[in-house]
């Protein structure tokens, strides 16, 4: 758990175990029509390109792809508002001066709501954390950090489509909380949340994996050795080794890494036998 300081909070540091970094989320089931109110769908994100269905032909994206929109303070569910009021009685949402003062690696919290699609008629709201990349005139650019619980469809509930590692441009008016870490950047297995995916070696699976910077992933090693060495075949790509757990090596690509194809190799630098190949993972580093 990181100790965070809410920017502008006069009383100093506060542990946001229930929100930033702690990953507790809230959601409320809703019917497709709620209390006769007009639907609130501002700042909607474009739906992804649809994929094929099991029967073959593609369906329209509106029928298959999870999608959602940012939700501001005035449209939050009452239980969400109450939780934020309890945590931050007088410091949410942040004012313009606070948002202007945000720096890289600060954290913002915003709310999203899924939209009904196809047979998924019920919606969910969820609080999501994003690490700040830049502050613009009308939006704050950031990268979603985990956990995210309701990105995908489930049962009769529609998913909102905001996933760990996604780049987001959050309208300034939709930012609910702004915070700054007061502890050093954590390093260690799980220090940046659960891995977004687990990858077996590409030399075995023959697969190339699409990954995003600033997002933790687990690599499955065939075995570990005291002389384990890691090599990256692209000088402008930086791999951060977060930690290990049994035969899992947790890594993350830095935000300033060159986008494109990159391979990561694990080698055994045996002092007697020489260099022995262990495994290779092929990636496409995406935006």
**pLDDT tens digit sequence for 260-274:** 999 999 999 988 888
- pLDDT of 63 reads 62
What's the gap between Cα 242 and its chain centre?
A: 16
Q: Does domain 198-285 have CATH number 2.60.40?
A: yes
- pLDDT of 243 reads 95
Angstrom distances, CA of residue 232 to CA of 62, 111, 208, 253, 267: 40, 37, 15, 11, 11
Closest CA to 15 of 259, 183, 161: 183
Measured distance CA(171)–CA(73) in Å, rounded: 12
- pLDDT of 79 reads 84
- pLDDT of 54 reads 37
What's the gap between Cα 241 and its chain centre?
A: 18
Q: Are 221 and 249 in contact (CB under 8 A)?
A: yes
Three-class SS of the chain: CCCEEECCCCCCCECCCCCCCCCCCCCCCECCCCCCCCCCCCCCCCCCCCCECCCCCECCHHHHCCCEEEECHHHCCHHHHHHHHHHCCCCCCCCHHHHHCCCCCCEEEEEEEECCECCECEECEEEEEEEEEEECCCEEEEEEECCCCCCCCECCECCCCCCCCCEEEEEHHHEEEEEEECCCCCCCCCCCCCCCCEECCHHHHCCEEEECCCCCEEEECCCCCCCEEEEECCCCCCEEEEEEECCEEEEEECCCCCCEEEEEEEEEEECCCEEEEEEEEEEEECC
Q: Are 14 and 4 in contact (CB under 8 A)?
A: yes
- pLDDT of 272 reads 84
- pLDDT of 56 reads 41
Q: Are 108 and 135 in contact (CB under 8 A)?
A: no
Q: What is the pLDDT of residues 12-57, one digit of tens each?
A: 222 232 343 333 233 222 323 333 333 333 334 444 444 433 334 4
Quote the tokens at residue 251: 């890594």
Give the total residue count for the chain: 287
Q: Are 61 and 68 in contact (CB under 8 A)?
A: no
b/e 84-115 (16+ beta carbons within 10 angstroms → b)? beebbeebbbbeeebbeebeeebbbbbbbbbb
Measured distance CA(213)–CA(170) in Å, rounded: 19
pTM above 0.85, yes or no: no
- pLDDT of 280 reads 98
Measured distance CA(158)–CA(137) in Å, rounded: 32
Domain residue extents for the chain: 4-181, 198-285
- pLDDT of 5 reads 52
Tell me the mean pLDDT per 10 residues along the chain, length 287. Answer: 40 32 30 33 39 42 81 90 84 91 92 93 92 96 92 93 95 93 80 93 97 96 94 93 96 95 95 91 95
Closest CA to 133 of 239, 212, 234: 212
């Amino acid at each position: 758990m990181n100790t965070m300081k809410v920017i502008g909070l006069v009383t100093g540091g506060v542990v946001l175990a229930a929100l930033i970094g702690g990953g507790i989320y809230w959601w409320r089931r809703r019917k497709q029509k709620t209390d006769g109110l007009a639907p609130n769908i501002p700042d909607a994100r474009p739906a992804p390109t649809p994929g094929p269905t099991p029967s073959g032909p593609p369906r329209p994206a509106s029928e298959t792809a999870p999608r959602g929109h940012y939700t501001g303070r005035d449209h939050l569910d009452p239980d969400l508002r109450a939780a934020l009021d309890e945590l931050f009685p007088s410091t949410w949402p942040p004012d313009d001066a606070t948002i202007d003062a945000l720096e890289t690696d600060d954290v913002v919290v915003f709310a999203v709501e899924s939209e009904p699609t196809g047979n998924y008629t019920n919606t969910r709201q969820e609080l999501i954390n994003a690490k700040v990349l830049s502050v613009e005139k009308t939006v704050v650019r950031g990268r979603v950090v985990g956990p995210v619980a309701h990105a995908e469809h489930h049962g009769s509930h529609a998913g909102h489509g905001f996933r760990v590692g996604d780049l987001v441009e959050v309208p300034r008016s939709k930012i609910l909380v702004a915070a700054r870490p007061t502890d050093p950047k954590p390093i260690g297995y799980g220090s940046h949340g659960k891995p977004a995916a687990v990858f077996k070696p590409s030399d075995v699976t023959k697969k190339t994996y699409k990954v995003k910077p600033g997002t933790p992933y687990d690599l499955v090693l065939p075995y570990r050795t005291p002389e384990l060495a890691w090599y990256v075949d692209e000088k402008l790509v930086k791999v951060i080794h977060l930690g290990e757990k049994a035969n899992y090596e947790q890594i993350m690509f830095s935000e300033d890494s060159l986008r494109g194809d990159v391979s990561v190799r694990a080698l055994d630098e045996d002092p007697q036998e020489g260099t022995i190949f262990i495994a290779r993972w092929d990636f496409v580093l995406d935006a």
